[in-house]
Copies of this chain bind each other. A is one copy, B any other.
Amino acid sequence: MQQFRTLNTRGAIEMCSYQLKQWFYVKRPNEFVGREHYELRESDFSPQLSKNEVLIKSEYISVDPYMRIQQAATHSWEPPHPLNTVQGAVVVAKVLESNNDNFQPGDWVTGYIGWQTHAVVHGNELQTLDPEQADIKTALGILGMPGRTAWFGLMEAGKPKPGETVLVSGAAGAVGSLVTQFAIKAGCRVVGIAGSEEKCEWLKTLGVDVYFDNVGGMITDAALTSLNLRARVVICGQISQYNGGLDTPEVGPRFLHQLLYKRVSVHGILARDFTHRMAEMIEHVAPWVKAGEIEFKSTEVCGFEYLPDTLAGLFEGQNIGKAIVRVV
C-alpha cells in the first residue's frame, strides 16, 4: 500500500499530463543510509481531482535526521517506515490545480507530502504559506518542525534563565543553530559544539545549566559530567546513534548516578507534541525572523535526484543548518 496518493483514476475527463518522479524507500539500511536503499520511479500521470482535492508541485523538499530513525525495524514513536512506499517528508509546494475553495493555482503550501515531484492531496493535508510574511523555505526550518523543536525544547524542557549557561550539541545543525539563537534571546551564555569530539575534554571544565542535546554519544558523555546543580538536559536528537543503533545500541559510560548527585532532570521531546502550540511560537519567533534578528541557516541542494545523497550527508556532517533539496 502506498502512503501518498499521486494518481486519481476515477472519472473520465482527461486532464493535463505531468512527469511524476518519486523516491521509493525499498530497503532497510543496517548501518549508514544511502542511495542503495531507494529507487527512483518515473511515470506520466494525468490527475483528475475529486471534490476538495488539490494537485501540487513540490518545490523544496525536507531532508531530516529523524528519517533514519524511522528506517530501523524498531518501533520508535511510531511504526517503522514501510518499505516500497514514497519516503515521507515535509515539502513546500505550489498549487497547480485545485478543486478546493481554500486553494488557488499559484498558492504556496506545505504538508507531509514525501519525496515526490507532484501529488494529489486533500486540502486538509495542506497549510497555506504567505510569502510576504516570511521566506517560504522557513516552513521547513525556523517556522516549521525544526523551529518548533528548538523553541519548545529549549523553553519548555530547558527552562533557561537569564545568565545561565546553555550548551548545545549539533550547534551547526537545523535545530541546534536555532537553539543557540533562541538561548541568546533568553539572555543566556551559549556554548555551541559542532563537529569533532576534540572538545570533549574541554567541555568537562564548563558549568552547564541547560544541555540541549542533538547528537548523543561521546559528546554527551562529556557534557553530562559538566552539569551544574539542578541542570536540565533536553534530549532532542541522538544523531550519532541512528546508524544501526536502534536494534543494537552502542555502549557508553553509565551516568545515572551523576543525575542523582546533581539533581538533574532529563526530558525527551518531539516536535509533534507541540504542533498544536505553533501559534504561540510564531508569535514570538516570526517578528524576529521578519526583523532579521534570527538567522535561518540552510544548506540547499539543487536536484530532486540528490535526495538520498543529501540524507546520507546528514550523518557525515555535510550540512550547515537545515538541509533542503530544491526540485529543479
Q: Is the CB of A264 within 8 A of B253?
A: no
Contact with B along A72-109 (1 / 0, CB 8 A): 00001100000000000000000000000000000000
Total identical chains: 2
Partner of A263, one of B217, B253, B269: B269
Instruction: Find out whether the CB atom of A216 lies under 8 angstroms from the CB atom of B257.
Output: yes
Assess whether B254 is in contact with A262, with CB atoms less than 8 Å apart. Answer: no
User: Could you tell me if A269 and B260 are in contact, using CB atoms closer than 8 angstroms?
Assistant: yes
* Selected interface stretch from A179-187, A243-251, A289-297, A305-313: A243-251
Contact across chains for B237 and A260 when beta carbons are under 8 A apart: yes
Q: Is there an interface contact between A256 and B213, defined as CB atoms closer than 8 Å?
A: yes
State whether A263 touches B270 (Cβ < 8 A). Answer: yes
B261 with A77: CB separation less than 8 A: yes
* Chain B residues in 8 Å Cβ range of A236: 260
The answer to whether B268 touches A263 (Cβ under 8 A) is yes
CB-based contact B77/A254 at 8 Å: no
Contacts of A204-243 to chain B: CB distance below 8 A: 213, 216-217, 220, 235-238, 241-242
Q: Is the CB of A260 within 8 A of B250?
A: no
Contact for A260 among B220, B238, B249, B260, CB less than 8 A:
B238
A260–B216 alpha-carbon span in the complex (Å): 11
Q: Which of A258, A260, A261 has the most CB of B within 10 A?
A: A260
Determine if A235 and B254 form an interchain contact, defined as CB atoms under 8 angstroms apart.
no
Is the pair A260, B235 in contact by a Cβ cutoff of 8 Å? yes
Cβ contacts under 8 Å, A249 to chain B: 253-255
Minimum C-beta distance from A187 to chain B (A) = 25
The reply on A259 being an interface residue by CB < 8 A is yes
- The complex places the Cα of A238 from the Cα of B261 at a distance, in Å, of 11
A266 within 8 Å of B by Cβ?
yes
Tell me whether A267 is interfacial, beta carbon within 8 Å.
yes
Whole-angstrom CA separation of A253 from B255 in the bound complex: 11
Sample 10 A-B pairs with CB under 8 A, ordered by A number: A216-B254, A220-B256, A241-B257, A251-B254, A252-B252, A256-B266, A256-B268, A263-B269, A264-B266, A265-B265
Given contacts A238-B260, A260-B270, 14 further A-B contacts (CB under 8 A): A76-B261, A77-B261, A220-B256, A235-B260, A237-B260, A241-B257, A242-B257, A249-B254, A251-B253, A259-B268, A264-B266, A264-B267, A265-B267, A266-B267
Interface residues of A (CB under 8 A from B): 69, 76-77, 213, 216-217, 220, 235-238, 241-242, 245-246, 249-270, 273
Closest 5 CB pairs of A and B: A259-B268, A266-B266, A249-B253, A238-B257, A260-B268
